[in-house]
Structure 1
Amino acid sequence: MAMVAARAGVSGQTVSRVVNDSPRVDPETRARVETAMAELDYRPHRAARALRTGRSQTIGLVVTTLATVGNSRMLQATAEAAAERGYALTLVTASNGVAAAFESLAEQEVDGAIVLNEASAQVATVERPRGLRLVVVDAAVDAGFVSVHSDHAGGAAAATAHLLAQGHVAVHHVAGPADSFAAAERERGWRETLVAAGADAPAPVRGDWSAESGYAAGVALDAASAVFCANDQMALGVLRALADSGRRVPEDVAVIGFDDVPDAANYRPPLTTIRQDFAALAHRAVEALVAEIEGGSVAAGPVIVPTSLIERASVR
């Protein structure tokens, strides 16, 4: 840092301000310091900074699996959002439970952690290390942490209302796992919309997020004219089951998914679905966690990210 200061003709304190992105440096001086840093190949020493500030500039991400589309997309989006704020990301799988994952993160002295989806259900039942700041994605509101989630119920309501508007008397539902917050919210939005419209809510057929379980559900729903699936992968299985039985989509059966995975536009037919904004979800989660870490304003209630209906050819 002293060498950078000498090359740029400034004080060591000014270099420190540039490194820490302080607004108290005029643009010309900042550019001169950054040029000196580049010429000397200077990199801030993370361990030294942690000793000085008491923060490691690292956050943890806890997942149970990366096999699901939502979790893998959230991993990428969270890594990008953290990097934009100058934080590194440490990934921990909860294969031995969330409590063990928290202990691992505490040993690595992360500043805080984000817990994703399936792992979120375990958070309320375990004791986390003292001082570990926490943001949970897809969890019921709890006083001990900030909750961030997509508007699952609102998206499901939009999908169901869209099918009812096409003249379908009954809308069947391929639901996600019973212990999933997101699945429960999507089922709630579907059910409440049917009740409000005076329509019966058929018993949902439950899957496990996989296309295979969607195929089994599609076989079971041999009399349905409209199906709302809790995710796009299960919708893919439903489409195959309908094709195998000789039923056409959308002529005989209308199908809507949830997530808007990158391949959804290339399903046959292209899938009408509810889009989750994974980038916005990750940014809001990182934003909430950094606010806790750095003493900023923390959300008083759940942070809910809007969803949107994407119309394609699987619904007339």
Structure 2
Amino acid sequence: MSEQATRGWQRPSIYDVAKHAGVSHMTVSRVLNGHPNIRESTRERVLQAIDEMNYTRSSIARALATRRAMRIGVLVDGPVQFGPNSTLRALESAARDVGYSVSAFSISDDEDSQMDDGVVELVTQGVDALCVIAPRASSLDLLRQQSTGLPTIVIKAEQDAVWHTVAVDQRAGATLAVTHLIELGHRSIAHLAGPLEWYDARERDGGWRDALALACLPIPPSVAGDWTSDYGYEYGRGLDVSEVTAVFAANDQMALGLIHGLADRGLSVPGDISVVGFDDLPDARHFLPPLTTVRQDFAALGELALKQIVAAIEGDEAVHHDMIEPRLVLRSSTSRPRS
């Protein structure tokens, strides 16, 4: 039986064509768009797969045939933060590669009611699916009250019974960071958390606790910041360094402020205290000292989210939950604790 027959009625996607041809979906996209730097043998293999699977390239033709807008609506919580902004850019890039466009609606930190406004605006545009990036608990509570009938994916590490989820494994990333400090010999490790209404902040806080508990170390109360360097600075100015030898900051911006606050007190990093961040900002390697941090692969996150969205649009009714592993980047802001 042919692959097309086993698929039943479901329309093939660019990912199906890529799998059939034994190439990446990016290669299929380049062939469809006439990119010159493609081997002729690869081009022929992709075109043959397109023909065999009856894949229709034209976005206009697909929209007319399926009554789709070929547009994904994206609700972005905290759009000024590095993680949400990077995730949105990655999703936009992945969408373009498969013929979709993105309409985004930003929700400011102090306006929960904007979730309702955003859903109405995006649904009015006739989007084919919704994606929520970096949600807070209050935002999702409001979204659950909506009944859009659209496939919905949420970028969060906690699984959801109704919606698709995809995320970088925040808890695993935090565990990597704290385990690194423990392996260096630190036994008193504080956590400057993000706002704990954010799912990402909760997961990073949980990873810090997991690592300390596994090592049978004391778990002091964490301090919930607001993601900003200013908050990290004030935290660093007031931190009791007689009780702490290392700090895991929930993002690089707070880590930057923390290092500044410590420096203004005449304390050195990592001589007096080690600091680890999270995100791997493009500038993190230029902090003084260069920052040990957890890197998130936003490009891979955008591609995986888009793959889930397209599958849901094309009829996949299963609820999927996928994770991407983070990576610890070692730099100069961590060392063995002071003696």
Q: How many residues align?
A: 285
Question: Which residue is 2:285 aligned to?
Answer: 265
Offset of 1:97 from its aligned partner?
A: 2.4
Aligned-residue RMSD, C-alpha:
2.7
Q: Is the 8 A contact 1:174 1:207 kept in 2?
A: yes
Q: Which amino acid aligns with 2:269?
A: V
Question: Which residue is 2:102 aligned to?
Answer: 89
User: How many Å separate the matches in 1 of 2:153 and 2:287?
Assistant: 34
Deviates more, 1:59-68 or 1:242-251: 59-68
Question: Which residue is 2:139 aligned to?
Answer: 122
Question: Which residue is 2:115 aligned to?
Answer: 98
Q: Is the 8 A contact 1:135 1:146 kept in 2?
A: yes
Question: Which residue is 2:239 aligned to?
Answer: 221
User: How many Å separate the matches in 2 of 1:270 and 1:94?
Assistant: 32
Taking the TM superposition and a 5 Å limit, the aligned residue runs for 1:145-184 are 145-184=163-202
1:238 partner SS: helix
Indicate yes or no: 2:311 matched with 1:311.
no
Offset of 1:79 from its aligned partner?
A: 0.6
Pair 119,168 (structure 1): closer, same or farther in 2 beyond 3 Å: closer
TM-score computed with the length of structure 1 as normaliser = 0.83
User: How many Å separate the matches in 2 of 1:114 and 1:136?
Assistant: 6
Taking the TM superposition and a 5 Å limit, the aligned residue runs for 1:1-316 are 27=44, 46=60, 49-95=62-108, 96-118=113-135, 121-126=138-143, 127-138=145-156, 140-223=158-241, 224-296=244-316, 298-300=318-320, 302-316=321-335
Offset of 1:124 from its aligned partner?
A: 3.6
User: How many Å separate the matches in 2 of 1:149 and 1:120?
Assistant: 16
Larger radius of gyration: 1
2:255 partner SS: helix
Offset of 1:282 from its aligned partner?
A: 1.3
User: How many Å separate the matches in 1 of 2:131 and 2:47?
Assistant: 33
Offset of 1:214 from its aligned partner?
A: 0.8
TM-score computed with the length of structure 2 as normaliser = 0.77
- Could you list the runs of 5+ residues in structure 1 that have no partner in the other structure? 1-16, 32-42
Pair 30,189 (structure 1): closer, same or farther in 2 beyond 3 Å: closer
User: How many Å separate the matches in 2 of 1:90 and 1:168?
Assistant: 46
Q: Is the 8 A contact 1:121 1:139 kept in 2?
A: no
Q: Is the 8 A contact 1:62 1:119 kept in 2?
A: no
Offset of 1:270 from its aligned partner?
A: 0.3
Offset of 1:29 from its aligned partner?
A: 12
Pair 28,77 (structure 1): closer, same or farther in 2 beyond 3 Å: closer
User: How many Å separate the matches in 1 of 2:95 and 2:296?
Assistant: 19
Q: Is the 8 A contact 1:260 1:276 kept in 2?
A: yes
User: How many Å separate the matches in 1 of 2:100 and 2:324?
Assistant: 22
User: How many Å separate the matches in 1 of 2:155 and 2:130?
Assistant: 11
1:199 partner SS: coil
Pair 29,284 (structure 1): closer, same or farther in 2 beyond 3 Å: closer
User: How many Å separate the matches in 1 of 2:45 and 2:303?
Assistant: 30
Question: Which residue is 2:54 aligned to?
Answer: none
- Could you list the runs of 5+ residues in structure 2 that have no partner in the other structure? 1-11, 22-31, 33-42, 49-56
User: How many Å separate the matches in 1 of 2:291 and 2:174?
Assistant: 15
Pair 90,153 (structure 1): closer, same or farther in 2 beyond 3 Å: same
Offset of 1:54 from its aligned partner?
A: 1.5
